[in-house]
């Protein structure tokens, strides 16, 4: 079954997004829930939040997980600062 393949955290994230529970959304994302997961209808947590008029929460879901490209750039910049400080 489709749901058996989904992590428990991901299912909880979908439910929290539907309810608009911002604290639980952030906690689940911090615990490793996948913000890009979709249910059997193809609905993601962001889409669920918007469908239930929780647009602010949808923004939180979107902003809670750092973009991998920005994260790599931030880490590279930090490394360069340390390298420059040693010289």
SS3 sequence of the chain? CHHHHCCHHHHHHHHHHHHCCHHHHHHHHHCCCCCCCCCCCCCCHHHHHHHCCCHHHHHHHHHHCCCHHHHHHHHHHHHHHHHHHHC
- pLDDT at residue 64 tops 70: no
Using alpha carbons, select from 18, 76, 5 the residue that is nearest to residue 45.
18
Q: What average pLDDT score do residues 24-39 get?
A: 83
Q: What is the pLDDT of residue 69?
A: 61
Q: What mean pLDDT is reported for the chain? A: 76
Task: Report d(CA 39, CA 61) in Å as an integer.
Answer: 16
- pLDDT at residue 12 tops 80: yes
CATH of 2-86, one of 3.30.50.10, 3.60.70.12, 3.30.470.10, 1.25.40.20: 1.25.40.20
How much of the chain exceeds pLDDT 90, in percent?
0
- pLDDT at residue 17 tops 70: yes
Q: What is the pLDDT of residue 5?
A: 42
């Amino acid at each position: 079954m489709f749901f058996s393949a989904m992590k428990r955290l991901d299912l909880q994230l979908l439910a929290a997004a539907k309810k608009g529970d911002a604290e639980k959304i952030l906690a689940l994302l911090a615990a490793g829930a996948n913000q890009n997961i979709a249910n059997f209808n193809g609905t993601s947590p962001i889409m669920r939040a918007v469908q239930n008029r929780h647009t602010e929460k949808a923004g939180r879901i979107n902003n809670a997980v750092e973009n991998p490209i920005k994260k790599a750039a931030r880490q590279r910049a930090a490394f360069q600062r340390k390298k420059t400080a040693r010289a």
